Amino acid sequence: MSGTFLIVFGCASGPNGQLTAWRLTDPPQRSPFARPLTAPIPTGQPHDAGRPAQSQATPQDGELNLPTTVRQKPTESSPSEPATEEGFDSHDLMAPSPSDDAFPVPYAEFELADKPVSPLKFAVFAPATAFQGDDVTIQITVGNERSTPVEDVIIVCRLPDGLEFLEFPDRASQNKLGSLNARQERTLDLTLNCTGIGQLCVTFEVTGNGIETVTESVCVECTSPAASSTKPPLPSEPLELIGPSERTIGSRAEFVLTVRNLTGIEQPDVHVTLEHEGVLETREASAGAIRRPGRLEWDLGMLRIDERVQIQVEFECLSLTDETRLTASVTGQTFDVRPVKACLKTTPREEVDLDIVDGEDPVTMGEKVTYVIHVTNAGLEKLSNTSLLLLTEGLQPLGLMVDEKPMTSGVSYDRSTGRITIPLSDDLRPDATRTITLQTLATRAGAASLNAIVSQQGTTLSITTSEPTVINPLGNSVALDK
């Protein structure tokens, strides 16, 4: 059982359950849906939502199609060597060309000094929590980043007490991948069984012909079902609205609305409405939006059983208010869904203008999420002895750039808490801006967030903002085209 992570943003009224909707974005840069939000369509006739037919969905070139893990008996191996685990499911993916990268220079990777330099890219991730007795699926990605093939690529997996392979009692397994072509990636699924309790960490080693071994580890918190029996599971909800709780005047606020048919029957003539007050001006919205005074509408047509659709809207905050409400509602011939609300507070700009933009939202678990943080001196005097604290929730930091240059000097990163402390320049003049780009990995399904705090040594200055991001679970689904 995968652990979920949920943060409730906005008003308390309305259901806030486990996020279950997601869109086809694997990898995001190759997805047919990964393009900018289209502008709202003026009032007029209803427009098709543009959802692809689920029965006709096929992987696009470059997409990663995750198969179901196959459990097979391992081949015989020497006792002195790790057993070969046939439970690894592998599938090839050609890595995107350098032109697909959003940034012209590489990130400064965290803990780079602790890892050997290798042309092999190696990443693993797993659910954060699991119950004792449950299966745990770990996803491993190996890529060849150089322009020539790498031969004899081997992955070795070593288990702690409390995690077991499905078909044999060995504590280590070996998977021979053979060769990786230039800029080729391969992703494998490994399913283990959680037999113990506590934080259990799996170690992986990857090597190739003439390549120094690279080591990665991933941890799962295994708990007893009895200890969690008092906590009811988060229910799925047919309608959810996720967005920020506070923004400064002149900035933008993005909301993600999720609709799901949980009735067990097909629902025809489904209509979605998002009402907002005058302090918010619509700037971008998902395709098919019908713009009317104070509200946006979408005609989804037929909503199939368990079909999930996600809609994105971005507003500009025009004026100050302690609370402005957004109300999402869904109607249909027999579709009775309670409306949900979200609240947003708009505040005046302070002496430091702090803004966060996520490059991808929503995303699928395992995808990379890029955040761009702008720190602007909006005062009349230069700022000195200032620092930026970043706190990630549901995200694993991967790399960092400051003003489009990799930065490691002075940066402090606490892997256990996800806290990143970045010293800002001592001569941040009025109207000057520092741009920090943080690349993260979406590790938990649910609502994740990046929180940022600017502080100044010896003063009471403390500017805070946050950016929520919807992380969808792995699986098959359909999406609202944008």
| 63 within domain boundaries | no
* pTM (global) more than 0.75: no
What average pLDDT does this structure show over 126-139? 85
What average pLDDT does this structure show over 43-61? 37
Region of 294 on the Ramachandran plot (φ > 0 left; ψ -120 to 50 alpha; else beta): left
Strands (E), 150-197: 150-158, 163-165, 172-180, 184-194
Residues in the chain, overall count:
482
431: domain CATH number is 2.60.40.1510
Query: What's the pLDDT at 107?
Result: 54
Any idea which of 63-67, 159-163, 193-197 has the lowest mean pLDDT?
Answer: 63-67
Report which of 438, 294, 297 is spatially closest to residue 356, judged by C-alpha positions.
438
The answer to whether 325 and 342 are in contact (CB under 8 A) is yes
The answer to whether 156 and 172 are in contact (CB under 8 A) is yes
At 273-289, the pLDDT tens digits run: 999 999 999 999 988 89
Same domain, yes or no, for 157 and 200?
A: yes
Query: What's the pLDDT at 171?
Result: 82
Helix (H, G, I), strand (E, B) or coil at 232: coil
Same domain, yes or no, for 201 and 292?
A: no
- The residue ranking higher by pLDDT, 396 or 328, is 328
Same domain, yes or no, for 451 and 368?
A: yes
Considering Cα of 136, then 137, then 142, then 143, what sign does the dihedral take? Answer: negative
| 245 within domain boundaries | yes
Domain assignment of residue 333, given as a range:
13-20+236-348
Same domain, yes or no, for 130 and 188?
A: yes
Other C-beta atoms lying within 10 Å of the C-beta of residue 443: 20
At 301-359, the pLDDT tens digits run: 998 888 888 999 999 999 999 999 999 999 998 887 889 999 999 988 888 888 898 87
86: domain CATH number is 2.60.40.10
Return d(Cα 290, Cα 43) in angstroms, integer. Answer: 5
Return d(Cα 176, Cα 182) in angstroms, integer. Answer: 18
At 172-207, the pLDDT tens digits run: 888 888 888 988 888 888 889 998 888 788 888 888
Same domain, yes or no, for 259 and 327?
A: yes
254: domain CATH number is 2.60.40.680
Count how many domains the chain has: 3
DSSP string, 304-363: -TT-EEEEEEEEEE-S-EEEEEEEEEEE-SS-----EEEEEEEE---SEEEEEEES-SSE
Query: What's the pLDDT at 90?
Result: 40
Same domain, yes or no, for 210 and 309?
A: no
At 198-253, the pLDDT tens digits run: 878 888 888 888 888 888 888 888 887 765 444 333 346 889 999 988 898 988 99
Domain boundary among 304, 328, 348: 348
Report which of 17, 20, 3, 26 is spatially closest to residue 360, judged by C-alpha positions.
26
Query: What's the pLDDT at 293?
Result: 92
Same domain, yes or no, for 111 and 167?
A: yes
pLDDT at 88 > cutoff 60: no
Q: Which two tokens stand for residue 405?
A: 């240059």
Return d(Cα 219, Cα 222) in angstroms, integer. Answer: 9
Same domain, yes or no, for 221 and 255?
A: no
What average pLDDT does this structure show over 356-365? 83
Amino acid at 302: M
Return d(Cα 94, Cα 89) in angstroms, integer. Answer: 17
Q: Which two tokens stand for residue 335?
A: 């579709």
Return d(Cα 277, Cα 295) in angstroms, integer. Answer: 8
Q: Which two tokens stand for residue 375?
A: 């720190």
Query: What's the pLDDT at 44?
Result: 38
User: What percent of the chain clears pLDDT 70, i.e. is strictly above it?
Assistant: 70
Question: Taking the chain, what is the end-to-end CA distance rounded to the nearest angstrom?
Answer: 32
Return d(Cα 324, Cα 347) in angstroms, integer. Answer: 12
Contacts of 124 (CB under 8 A, 6+ apart): 138, 139, 140, 141, 202, 204, 216, 217, 218
Amino acid at 168: F
Contacts of 227 (CB under 8 A, 6+ apart): none
Same domain, yes or no, for 243 and 369?
A: no
| 45 within domain boundaries | no
Residue with tokens 């009811």: 232
Q: Which two tokens stand for residue 391?
A: 């706190």
Return mean pLDDT, the chain.
Answer: 73
What average pLDDT does this structure show over 360-382? 86
Q: Which two tokens stand for residue 267?
A: 């629902």
| 157 within domain boundaries | yes
Report which of 467, 240, 236 is spatially closest to residue 341, judged by C-alpha positions.
240
| 381 within domain boundaries | yes
